Structure 1
Amino acid sequence: MRRPSEPAAPPDDVDVRLAARLADLRAQHGWSLGELAERTGISRSTLSRAERAEISPTASLLNRLCHAYGRTMSRLLGEVEAEPAPLVRAAEQSVWQDRASGFVRRSVSPPHPALRGELVEGRLAVGADIAYDRPPVAGLEQHIWVLEGALDVTADDVGRRLEAGDCLRLRVWGPTRFRCAGDVPARYVLAVVLP
């Protein structure tokens, strides 16, 4: 824990670019912080701090913003990267962490705004539990393929336990929840297809 006399660690480059992109998106829509707060249920102060890179947004917060802006999380994170390439080597794939929840997200697919599908690798630490109050895009199709560990997925008030090798396909219209269901971390592939 940081002591009051110690300076805060500077934000990493991805958080700085993400903050600038979030501020740019809000400006493009012509929304004030208050209007965006009403649309997302996120406080104005939290939105302001996220746009200034004073905080690293959680997965849940980014999901709400993606919903307001009609983007998937991968597309938003891809927009903060450099010019898209047709090939992204493993060492160059964008990795984002929600340190508060124990969620690590790797954008596997080369980002491109014109594509409707993408692959994401998700990792949840033991005990990690992430709830999204809505999809970033209504009707988003997801294929969840568990590679290691076990994952509890809840969508449309239906819970399912996925073990290594299992694959669940669904369309997301409402709240979802992902929880590491075992005593080892869960690792999975998420294929996302825009409606």
Structure 2
Amino acid sequence: MKQLGEVDSAPDAVDARLAARLAELRAERGWSLGELAERSGVSRSTLSRAERAEISPTAATLNRLCHVYGRTMSRLLGEVEAEPEPLVRAAEQPVWEDRASGFVRRSVSPPHPGLRGELVEGRLAAGADIAYDRPSVPGLEQHIWVLDGALDVTAENVGHHLEAGDCLRLRVWGPTRFRCAGDGDVRYVLAVVLP
């Protein structure tokens, strides 16, 4: 139990996650602490201490960093407020069905603000054909692994035929199309990673 006036040297969980996220954002851009200091107007030592969770950044410091990283403060804090649950039980995985197209989507590992990837199980009925005019996020990384059946995927005007066990890896910049290519249903895993 902490005594009155005693200083707690361990950062709280949110400060620790914020520190890690700030370090990740800088690393994603390949910037040194010096480069970030120049861009943000925050001293290098303050940035270093904030990334190691030795201090909790002030609102003004966070605002400067959010500006540099192109984020709102609420988005940045939303990315670190809660750790994602490590285990997602099958019964808790949201399922959405588009009856008109014959598409069923199970969010196996749902998106979370603190994570960049998600896993989706897709099922297309025989003859189903789905076209998307653009990705939700330009440059979205996708890995499409066919578990059962056959799937035709068109991206960047290039067609790909996938059989059970095949995996297509790509970044999506424009329209895509998914078509069940066999006589029976196709079931596949879609791994989605934000750029």
Query: TM-score normalized by structure 1?
Result: 0.56
Distance change >3 Å, CA 108–CA 91, structure 1 → 2: same
CA contact (8 A) 2:84 2:114 kept: no
Matched to 1:194, the amino acid is L
Match of 2:44 in 1: none
Structure 1 counterpart SS, 2:109 = coil
User: Which consecutive aligned stretches of 4+ in structure 1 deviate over 4 angstroms post-superposition?
Assistant: none
The answer to whether 1:112 aligns with 2:104 is: no
Matched to 2:104, the amino acid is V
List runs of 5+ in structure 2 lacking aligned partners: 1-82
Matched to 2:180, the amino acid is C
Greater radius of gyration (CA)? 2
Match of 1:188 in 2: 188
CA deviations on 1:26-45 (whole Å, 9 max, x unpaired) are xxxxxxxxxxxxxxxxxxxx
Identical-residue share of aligned pairs (%): 87
CA contact (8 A) 1:84 1:111 kept: no
CA contact (8 A) 1:85 1:111 kept: no
CA contact (8 A) 1:85 1:110 kept: no
Match of 2:164 in 1: 164
Q: Report the Cα offset of residue 86 of structure 1.
A: 2.5
**Count of residues in Structure 1 that have an aligned counterpart in Structure 2:** 113
CA distance in 1 between partners of 2:135 and 2:154 (Å): 13
Query: C-alpha root-mean-square deviation of aligned residues, in Å?
Result: 1.3
CA contact (8 A) 2:111 2:117 kept: no
CA deviations on 1:26-70 (whole Å, 9 max, x unpaired) are xxxxxxxxxxxxxxxxxxxxxxxxxxxxxxxxxxxxxxxxxxxxx
Structure 2 counterpart SS, 1:108 = strand
Match of 2:136 in 1: 136
List runs of 5+ in structure 1 lacking aligned partners: 1-82
CA distance in 1 between partners of 2:86 and 2:98 (Å): 27
Matched to 1:139, the amino acid is G
